[in-house]
Amino acid sequence: MTLSWSRYFLGAGLDNLVVESHGQTFADIQDSYLELDLYSPADRSDRVGLPAVIVIHGGSWSEHDSMLTASCESAVGGVRAVISLYGPIDLAWGYHHPLRPDIINSRRVLENYLGGSPEQLPDAYARASPTTHIGPGSPPTLLIHGGRDQLVSNAHADRAAPLLKRAGVAFEYLYLPFITRTTIAMTRIALVGEHNQQYQAHIAIPRILEMASTSVGAACEADWVPTDSFGTNAAGRLDRYDAIWCVPGSPYASMEGALSAIRFARESGRPFLGTCGGFQHALIEYVRNVLGYHEADHAESNPGASLPLIAPLTCSLVGTSGTIVLAEGSRAATIFGGTETVEEYHCNFGFDARYRPILSSGELQITGVDEHGEARIVEIAEHPFFIATLFQPERRALTGHSHLLVEAFLRAAAEPTEIPANGSFTASTSPT
């Protein structure tokens, strides 16, 4: 949407600055504007190389920043007009009247943005709300809002309109009663596994997704998809989802169902995250279907397997945590911003190191190991996002914190993926 606006303004001969504020605080945005000297009504071209007439725009939260900049008394001399497209305008009111908390925790978004609640920081909420700054000197304003917006209530525009009218500001309010938010799509996540509220990981997963959604700025919804609900036809059941998370809880009701879901994610380019049991089965799926070792199996569900790729750990990792060393240049290292991380486990089975040479001929590589060199993270670098971990990043939510890996997974899920012509990201390789 912002790209379309940019093209329109450029076609009209207007330079424009796109505001993207997801993950930034109010102070960050204002500092950025100050660096560009956007608050000065004088000719900017002599000092910062910007034209005297500039269009500032964005979407939703970014649109809030744009309108606030235009509304502030120190800026109005240099702003000719302002358009609020689906933007939040009265932040304290919005905090106390969340529209769809089942989609996005707008209160937490505001707390992250401003540093606390309206009760804790009333002055900050007032300063950050365009409604506070509307007055006789405000520029001509166009308010646009859809009546079926899922994230920001049209009541924000409803509250701004009478203030503009009383101040004598030229304005128009375009209310679209049947229009939803078309600038932000809902990201759908399939949680493959049998949901069990007795599992701490299953309690934590919805929480960590909510936290990641707030941090990333991408609305998401997640469905639990039992492994025995689609057999080996994962495509028919999972094609509607943007990403696949194979969750802890093995042995699954259907091992073949779990493997089918993982294969679908790998071959279709859907972002994939496997944790604990998902890590174990991601290895089995790849070794069977790509490397050709069809006898590869899980010792928990098949103790007599001839190739027990997943075997009992020498020491149980239930309720433990430990340091993981990340391979330099790996996607995992990029996500964590370094080559070490400390993570929590809850498992008794892992990759049998005897079979490590098998992986050398494929694209699925070990990119994280513990202090003993045992595999803890695997990934496919050529895939848009395919990472599996023996540890459980979701457990971070039980302490009230998000996790960088889940945020990266959700960010990948929210972005369009280009699927190669052959429909697969991994070339098959048979053992010699």
> Token digits for 284?
């089995």
- 23: containing domain: 2-180
Residue 303 pLDDT: 95
Interval 161-201: pLDDT, tens = 999 999 999 999 998 887 776 544 678 999 999 999 999 99
DSSP 204: H
Percent of the chain surpassing pLDDT 90: 57
The pLDDT of residue 300 is above 80: yes
Residue 33 pLDDT: 46
The pLDDT of residue 160 is above 90: yes
CATH number of the CATH domain containing 150:
3.40.50.1820
Tell me how many domains the chain contains. 2
The pLDDT of residue 254 is above 50: yes
- Residue 421 is assigned to a structural domain of this protein: no
DSSP 420: P
Residue 152 pLDDT: 87
The pLDDT of residue 317 is above 90: yes
- Residue 397 is assigned to a structural domain of this protein: yes
Mean pLDDT within 207-215 = 89
What are phi and psi for residue 39, nearest 5 degrees? -85, -10
Q: What is the CA radius of gyration of the chain?
A: 25
d(CA 317, CA 304): 23
One domain for residues 219 and 151: no
The pLDDT of residue 76 is above 50: no
Q: Which of 146, 180, 214 is the last residue of a domain?
A: 180
One domain for residues 150 and 201: no
- Residue 426 is assigned to a structural domain of this protein: no
Of the candidates 188, 219, 271, the residue with the CA atom closest to the CA atom of residue 22:
219
- Comparing 1 with 360, the larger pLDDT belongs to 360
One domain for residues 223 and 174: no
- Residue 264 is assigned to a structural domain of this protein: yes
- Given a contact cutoff of 8 angstroms between Cβ atoms, the answer to whether 299 and 311 are in contact is yes
Tell me how crowded residue 155 is: count the other CB atoms within 10 A of its CB.
15
Residue 19 pLDDT: 56
d(CA 340, CA 324): 6
One domain for residues 81 and 228: no
One domain for residues 174 and 243: no
Residue 40 pLDDT: 42
Of the candidates 320, 371, 306, the residue with the CA atom closest to the CA atom of residue 348:
320
- Given a contact cutoff of 8 angstroms between Cβ atoms, the answer to whether 270 and 244 are in contact is yes
Q: Which of 211-220, 312-321, 405-414 has the lowest mean pLDDT?
A: 211-220
- Residue 432 is assigned to a structural domain of this protein: no
- Residue 231 is assigned to a structural domain of this protein: yes
